[in-house]
Amino acid sequence: MRYGILADIVVFAHLLWILFLIAGAYWGKKHRQVMLVQGAGLVFAAASQMFGWYCPLTYLEVWLRKKQAAAQDYPGSFLAHYAEKLVYIDISPASIFVLTLALVGVNVWIYRRAFGKTGNSER
């Protein structure tokens, strides 16, 4: 059972990470350190889409699920089932790549407005 719980925690962490990549620029406008973490995450997300890599959290979750299945535990929680549907959304890889590039573009635009032209890097 502990592997299932750990796998569920990984799924929720993965979902939170995705939400941070989507909306983190609003926090990152005020905190340069957040911008750097979110920017690095976006670069990794774009590279992983470009080269067909999987997120390390996906590998961890799969490993935990295999351990869970070997222990013959309950296959997963109700909430994790729906979180997995959000994390591992069923759309084409090309669509995910286009959405990732659009997200990177929006974030670049937000950060350029916040830090670029006005020199407000000390916010």
- The contacts of residue 75 (CB under 8 Å, 6+ apart) are 4, 68, 69
Residue 7: phi, psi to the nearest 5? -65, -40
Nearest to 100 by CA among 33, 44, 54, 26: 44
For residue range 40-66, list pLDDT tens digits in order: 999 999 999 899 898 899 999 999 988
pLDDT tens, position by position, 24-41: 999 998 898 999 999 999
C-alpha dihedral over 22, 117, 40, 29, to 10 degrees? Answer: -50
Residues 6+ apart with CB under 8 A from 7: 61, 64, 65, 68, 76, 80
Residue-level pLDDT at 45: 93
